[in-house]
């Protein structure tokens, strides 16, 4: 049963953030307001506690949390925000907890976002960040972690790396990733009604703003339609009240068919990117991430809704 805290958060989201995704005009207004208030920098207390260093690539900041002595492993964390909003304190708290519990080094690029920038700018920078990481660590010691839009970026970046002959990271951790922007799955329309946060109309506007005219069914935008066989072992976290969840579950099934080992945490009653928000369900999710990255997670298949399972077996129209 979902916790009381999760019900409170869900109520707040439905009466606040949901409005941003209710229409293209509302999304544009929220972006304009966000630009006046956003602060991508790590909170001062976290920066002091973790000794976060700052560099830049293409004029955009890259924050680095050093690994504990003797630790080789690194995480590239790609934040969510529908490709149009900046990293938040919620992301930084999760990043800090992962750094302290795992001891891994963590790289956090403040990548260019839309509408000021587009797909090519975002992935141009992300590619350079990964190449720099490969100069400092072996690919088998690198993990891609991302939430929402950042989960999309993690998968697309791995596919693009494969095209360029670069090695794949050793693992993916995908938190409520956006993996199919084509709207080819009718279940997302039903899921939208139960989602207290995301909306299709505003979401499509965000995609329009960042996609640089690339078709929404192209794998660069919807990685569900790319070569899933190049992906590494993956932990995917998704909730039953997230409109992205039906496509997340389809992705997991198709990736498994392509030979990828995928562990799914499917949380009943949970909304988009719930592991970022402090509540009992988030603590369980964070424990699953730590266990997965330290090799202790016992794989458990998602409890897949029947209609989603049936859809997952059909060939994709865009393939």
Over residues 2-59, the pLDDT tens digits come to 999 999 999 999 999 999 999 999 999 999 999 999 999 999 999 989 999 999 999 9
Number of H helices, E strands in the chain: 12, 8
The mean pLDDT of 74-98, rounded to a whole number, is: 98
The mean pLDDT of 126-154, rounded to a whole number, is: 98
**Per-residue pLDDT reduced to its tens digit, 115-137:** 999 999 999 999 999 999 999 99
Q: Which of these ranges, 25-29, 161-165, 300-304, has the smallest mean pLDDT?
A: 300-304
Q: Looking only at Cα atoms, what is the longest distance across the chain?
A: 51
Per-residue pLDDT at 295: 82
Cβ-contact 181, 198 below 8 angstroms: no
Q: State yes or no: pLDDT of 308 exceeds 50.
A: no
Place of tokens 């989603």: 308
> Average pLDDT over the chain, rounded to whole?
93
pTM of the model: 0.93
d(CA 24, CA 89): 26
Q: State yes or no: pLDDT of 307 exceeds 80.
A: no
Higher pLDDT among residues 316 and 78, named by residue: 78
Q: Looking at the DSSP assignment, which residues form a beta bridge with residue 53?
A: 64
Please give the full DSSP string across 94-109, using - where no structure is assigned.
HHHHHHHHH--EEEEE
Sorted by sequence, the CB contacts under 8 Å of residue 85 that are 6+ apart come out as: 30, 31, 34, 38, 113
Q: State yes or no: pLDDT of 141 exceeds 50.
A: yes
d(CA 307, CA 33): 39
Per-residue pLDDT at 228: 98
Per-residue pLDDT at 296: 54
Place of tokens 């560099």: 55
Per-residue pLDDT at 10: 96
Considering just the CA atoms, what is the radius of gyration of the chain in Å? 18
Q: State yes or no: pLDDT of 313 exceeds 50.
A: no
Q: State yes or no: pLDDT of 65 exceeds 50.
A: yes
| β pairing state of 171-175 and 142-147 | parallel
d(CA 40, CA 27): 19
Q: Could you tell me where the DSSP H helices lie in 86-148?
A: 89-102, 119-136
Per-residue pLDDT at 43: 95
Q: Which of these ranges, 84-98, 116-130, 186-200, 296-310, has the smallest mean pLDDT?
A: 296-310
Per-residue pLDDT at 1: 87
Per-residue pLDDT at 185: 95
Lookup: tokens for 186: 């009718």
Domains of the chain: 4-312 (3.40.50.1820)
């Amino acid at each position: 049963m979902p916790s009381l805290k999760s019900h409170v958060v869900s109520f707040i989201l439905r009466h606040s953030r949901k409005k941003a995704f209710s229409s293209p005009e509302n999304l544009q207004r929220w972006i304009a307001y966000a630009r006046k208030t956003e602060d991508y920098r790590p909170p001062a207390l976290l920066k002091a506690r973790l000794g976060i260093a700052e560099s830049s690539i293409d004029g955009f900041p890259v924050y680095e949390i050093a690994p504990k002595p003797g630790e080789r492993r690194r995480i590239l964390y790609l934040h969510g925000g529908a490709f149009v909003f900046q990293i938040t304190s919620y992301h930084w708290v999760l990043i800090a907890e992962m750094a302290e519990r795992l001891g891994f080094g963590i790289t956090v690029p403040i990548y260019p976002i839309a509408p000021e920038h587009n797909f090519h700018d975002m992935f141009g920078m992300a590619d350079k960040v990964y190449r720099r990481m490969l100069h400092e660590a072996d690919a088998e010691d690198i993990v891609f972690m991302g939430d929402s839009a950042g989960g999309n970026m993690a998968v697309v970046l791995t596919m693009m790396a494969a095209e360029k002959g670069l090695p794949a990271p050793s693992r993916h951790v995908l938190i409520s990733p956006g993996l199919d922007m084509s709207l080819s799955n009718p279940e997302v329309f039903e899921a939208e009604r139960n989602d207290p946060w995301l909306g299709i109309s505003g979401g499509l506007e965000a995609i329009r703003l960042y996609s640089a005219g690339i078709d929404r069914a192209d794998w660069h935008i919807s990685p569900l339609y790319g070569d899933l066989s190049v992906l590494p072992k993956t932990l995917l976290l998704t909730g039953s009240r997230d409109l992205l969840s039906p496509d997340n579950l389809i992705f997991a099934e198709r990736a498994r068919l392509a030979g990828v080992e995928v562990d799914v945490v499917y949380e009943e009653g949970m909304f988009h990117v719930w592991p970022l928000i402090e509540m009992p369900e988030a603590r369980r999710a964070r424990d699953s991430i730590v266990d997965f990255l330290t090799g202790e997670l016992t794989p458990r298949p998602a409890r897949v809704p029947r209609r989603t399972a049936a859809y997952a077996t059909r060939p994709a129209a865009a393939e």
